[in-house]
Structure 1
Amino acid sequence: MTDRQIAVTGSTGRIGGRVARLLSARGRPLRLIVRDASRAPSLTSPAGPAHVMVASYDDGEAARRALTGVDVLFMVSGSESLDRVEQHRTFIDAAADAGVRHLVYTSFLGAAPDAVFTLARDHHVTEQYLRDAEQRTGMAWTALRDSLYADFLPGMVGDDGVLRGPAGDGRVAAVAQDDVADAAVVVLLSPQGHAGRTYDLTGPEALTLQEVAETVTRATGRPARYQPETLEEAFASRAHYGAPDWQVEAWVSTYTAIAAGELSTVSTAVEELTGHPARTLEQVLSTGRAR
């Protein structure tokens, strides 16, 4: 169906924005679901301008209005908060009520109830809710389990040039945001072939944080080095941000998940879905520098 109505959330962000631009470039009818219409990207394709609708994940009524007439929905996971799972449930229910036939959700690698990375537990609960919603309503789903974003790794290096955390010698196969967007578009354009599937989206290599720091230095020219921390040191070095305890725990558990080997998975899903190899960290950073 060339006229299938696709809706994209998070189009003001990095992943949703990429997905929206790619779909628009392909001439697909597009609806952008945003919290602030003034921040929505202006996208026009042969199918016409993208239609902007305002709704937040925690406003079921607005979401139902915004999603009525949508066939396929790209749902970027909500921003980190204590009630994120409840917001997800509200939005998923609204999507089903509005008649959405297939929901594609950005989950996280290793999503499980006992995941070391605390926020991966939220993604597990959301995935389970999608399964339950399918049983209740018939709305199909696909989960894209993204690894850490390679694009974000330089931001983990402090102003002093130190990448610090309790990751030990663990490895992470960070994924390029462009690869996630490319994979998402493939699923969104032919969702029926991906119903009920989960895809681990990773980079092509698993690196230690020492190797990450060396790559940052080589690709960006910015000196960086890795400094392992104990748990006590990790919590102490992040205390000055004044973040709530649950958020600091989430930050620290990113590193302990690496130490535990939970982010070392190297998947071929990016290439299988998109037809091109997953980008390496060095490719991501070198491309970003060129821009």
Structure 2
Amino acid sequence: MASLIAVTGASGRVGGRVARRLSGADAATRLIGRDPTRLPELPGAVPAHPAEYGDGEAMRRALEGAATLFLVSAHESPDRVKEHCTAVDAAVAAGVERIVYVSFTGAAPDATFTFARDHWHTEQYIRSCGVRHTFLRNNWYLGAIPAMTGADGVLRGPGGQGRVAAVAHDDIADAAAAVLLDGTRTHDRVVYDITGPAAFTLAEAAEALSEVSGRSVTYHLESREEAYASRAGYGAEEWEVTGWVTSYEAIAVGEMAGVSDAVPRLTGHPAQNLRDFLAAHPSSWRHLLPGGS
């Protein structure tokens, strides 16, 4: 009997792509989510009963019989690390042998990007549990570049002249599937930086958006004070706004600039660059066009 792989976040952009790849490879898969009605219907994939990371008993039941857990990080919240730890405890209690965790580049206790600190604490907790593990430290998503550009054609943030090695969701999913489907111990205790093929400045990103959209897109370098002020109208809590602002500041200080060969090494194909991504996903920047939405 094939080893069962449990996939969390299967209704999301990363977990959903991974679930589809595992299904395409005929892997036995269990999909875990808070709302099973949102989970994709895939051959070989069985939905678990509803389970949230913070509900240890529900997670334990959902993970019973699984050999591997693909743990997509929870949505940002003040309790995210606690939720992760509860989910990890449930996996250990259910007899899960291996955890492949979706982390973030530059994860460290003193990372500039405050949310990256959550990932470091989660990694440390997984290590302490003695379970086999692999960490996929994803860089910024390529899709975030146009998404964070306003309809006014301005990409704003305190990113300085720093570079970011942003990566496509599809490349993340391909890399994750390769790790999950490998039945050897090759990936045990390995940390992979999952990046695009090159690092670029936000000014260069604006140039690429201009080229593909035909509209003038610019990068406005904000100060920290300007960044907080320009995001004040979203009604988000302070910890969340701080996460948004420090993500740019992490770019400015070079914490997202490293380029890795993990995607081609794991998948056998090159990672997608920004211009190719934008050309392949016009819906990501359509809001920049007159009448776009």
- State the TM bucket, normalised to the shorter chain: over 0.9
Q: So what's the TM-score if we normalise by structure 2? A: 0.94
Which of 87, 93, 97 pairs up with 1:97? Answer: 93
Structure 2 matches for 1:145-224, cutoff 5 A? Answer: 145-190=137-182, 192-224=185-217
Q: Could you tell me how far apart the structure 1 residues matched to 2:126 and 2:30 are?
A: 21
Q: Could you tell me how far apart the structure 2 residues matched to 1:234 and 1:263 are?
A: 19
How far is 1:50 from its partner?
Answer: 2.7
How far is 1:290 from its partner?
Answer: 8.2
Q: Could you tell me how far apart the structure 2 residues matched to 1:165 and 1:268 are?
A: 28
Q: Could you tell me how far apart the structure 1 residues matched to 2:176 and 2:278 are?
A: 21
| Structure 1 residue ranges, 4+ long, deviating more than 6 angstroms after superposition | none
Which of 58, 63, 70 pairs up with 2:66? Answer: 70
Distance 1:49 1:127, change over 3 A: closer
How far is 1:38 from its partner?
Answer: 1.1
Which of 233, 237, 244 pairs up with 1:240? Answer: 233
Q: Does 1:225 align with 2:218?
A: yes
Contact kept, 8 Å, 2:31 with 2:45, in 1: the verdict is no
Which of 126, 129, 132 pairs up with 1:133? Answer: 129
Contact kept, 8 Å, 1:34 with 1:56, in 2: the verdict is yes
How far is 1:208 from its partner?
Answer: 0.5
Contact kept, 8 Å, 2:139 with 2:193, in 1: the verdict is yes
Root-mean-square deviation (CA), in Å? Answer: 1.3
Secondary structure of residue in 1 paired with 2:281? helix
Contact kept, 8 Å, 2:263 with 2:270, in 1: the verdict is yes
For residues 160-193 of structure 1, the C-alpha deviation after alignment (integer angstroms, 9 at most, x for no partner) is 1100111111110101110000000011011521
How far is 1:49 from its partner?
Answer: 4.6
Q: Could you tell me how far apart the structure 2 residues matched to 1:231 and 1:49 are?
A: 46
Q: Could you tell me how far apart the structure 1 residues matched to 2:226 and 2:51 are?
A: 41
How far is 1:282 from its partner?
Answer: 1.1
Structure 1: gaps of 5 or more residues: none
Contact kept, 8 Å, 2:30 with 2:45, in 1: the verdict is no
Q: Percent sequence identity over matched residues? A: 54
2:10 is matched with 11
How far is 1:219 from its partner?
Answer: 2.6
Structure 2: gaps of 5 or more residues: 285-293
How far is 1:270 from its partner?
Answer: 0.8
Contact kept, 8 Å, 1:142 with 1:195, in 2: the verdict is yes
How far is 1:217 from its partner?
Answer: 2.1
For residues 106-142 of structure 1, the C-alpha deviation after alignment (integer angstroms, 9 at most, x for no partner) is 00000000100000000000000011011xxxx2110
What is the letter of the counterpart of residue 148 of structure 1? W
Contact kept, 8 Å, 1:11 with 1:34, in 2: the verdict is yes
Structure 2 matches for 1:73-88, cutoff 5 A? Answer: 73-88=69-84
For residues 181-226 of structure 1, the C-alpha deviation after alignment (integer angstroms, 9 at most, x for no partner) is 0000011011521010100001111101010111122234454210
Q: How many residues align?
A: 283
2:262 is matched with 269
What is the letter of the counterpart of residue 221 of structure 2? P
How far is 1:284 from its partner?
Answer: 1.3
